[in-house]
Amino acid sequence: MPNLMVKPPNGEAAVLPTVRRDAEANLAPPVAEMISPLSSDPQPVEGDLIEFEVKGPSEDGDAEEYDKNDDLAVPLKPLSREFIHQNFPVPSDILEIDTSTFDTQAVIKKYGYKFDDTPNVPKRRALLIGLKGTTLKGSYGDVDDMKALLKDIYGFQDEEVMVLKDENPGSILYPTRQVVVDHLFILAHSPREGDRLFILFAGHGAQIEDLDGDEADGLDEVICCADGKIIVDDQLHDIIVKPLPKGCRLTAVFDCCSSETGLDLVQARPSASPHLSALDLQFNATFASGALDLPHSFTSESNGVPKHSDGEVVLWSACLDNADSHEILIDGGKYKGAMSHAFVQSIRQSTRQSYGELLESIKQSFKRWHVPQVPQLTSSHKLDQNDLFTV
């Protein structure tokens, strides 16, 4: 992956290595690093051939096309169903999850959690997942920084925050797929009005062929667990989005590749709203004036059943579904996920920001760092850009 040259506040040039947060980067052999000069175009053509390879056939069908214009890997043309089937295979070991029969009380006891679930009292609960795999360096720091933010700014207590890191394979909390699924159920257990839930995933993301027809581009988004197995966005939606009641808030931050619609909160086509279309939101990452009108009952369907949530769910994601997210190297020699670091730093600098202001702040951080990705914001409900953001 190419290195990006930036200038930190002290004016001295610094090398900013970028590390992709996708499954392919985790499994592929190392690629020789290249250093690009500081310029208004942070990704030279040489870097694009690695960083922004578009996995689509060329006109003659014999070679792949590349995104040489540095436009964040927006597809040059829609991928055919045949091409998707051949190049984005669905693993044979997709976990079957029955949300109606899952025994969440049993897994809470299994992991030894002692939550204060006083009846009729709103609760706070957070799940922070950091997976380095073999290529990432900043995921653990992202988790630590986010936990500190939740405690310092939003009043979370240690016992209200669950942390999963892939640092100890012998730990009961080692984030294999089953452990992550267990904790997703714990996060959304017995949701009620007034609950404040939070999830961070800092690790690898990817895409696979969509088999149930609810994805406009024919691809499902997935997160990758420590055992190499995946959890599909449909499953994430069913476990932590669908069951939430009115007045229950879930804030999600996905710092991984292919994260734009990681919770299936919005369809990738224009809505009927006079204010803003979903397509505008995804590809411009900006708000138009007024409210963002994303209805509770989604037009996307899974097996003929419309996706729906009564809860207030917001997903801050690192990049487009078909793009990479990156890590940066900050002063002091520490690696950070660009999305996680921008989110935390923006809030610490100003705890009173609207959704629109926070999104713009994150975008500006990416520009300063010359990070070639565009942050995304999707929601399960009507969201006004001028509303004050809170967890």
Task: Please provide the size of the chain in residues.
Answer: 391
Which residues are 53's β-sheet partners?
66
At 320, is the secondary structure helix, strand, or coil? Answer: coil
Catalytic residue, candidates 224, 225, 256, 257: 257
What DSSP designation does 88 have?
S
At 187, is the secondary structure helix, strand, or coil? Answer: helix
CA distances (Å), 186 to each of 42, 199, 226, in order? 42, 12, 19
Q: Which residues contact 329 (CB under 8 A, 6 or more apart)?
A: 14, 15, 16, 17, 335
Alpha-carbon torsion angle 309, 315, 319, 321, nearest 10:
-10
CB of 230 closer than 8 Å to CB of 283: no
Which residues are 129's β-sheet partners?
164, 201
At 264, is the secondary structure helix, strand, or coil? Answer: coil
Nearest to 273 by CA among 382, 389, 387: 382
CA distances (Å), 76 to each of 54, 56, 278, in order? 8, 8, 20
CB of 257 closer than 8 Å to CB of 20: yes
What distance lies between CA 334 and its chain's CA centroid? 21
Count Cβ atoms below 10 Å from residue 111 Cβ, excluding itself. Answer: 13
- Specify whether 204 is catalytic: yes
Within 13 Å, how many C-alpha atoms sit on residue 44's CB side? 11
The stretches of 337-377 forming alpha helices (DSSP H) are: 338-349, 355-369
The CA distance from 252 to 197, in Å, is 8
Beta-strand relationship, 230-232 and 161-165 = unpaired
Catalytic residue, candidates 183, 189, 204, 326: 204
Query: Which position has the token pair 């709103």?
Result: 122
Task: Report, as residue numbers or ranges, the catalytic residues.
Answer: 204, 257
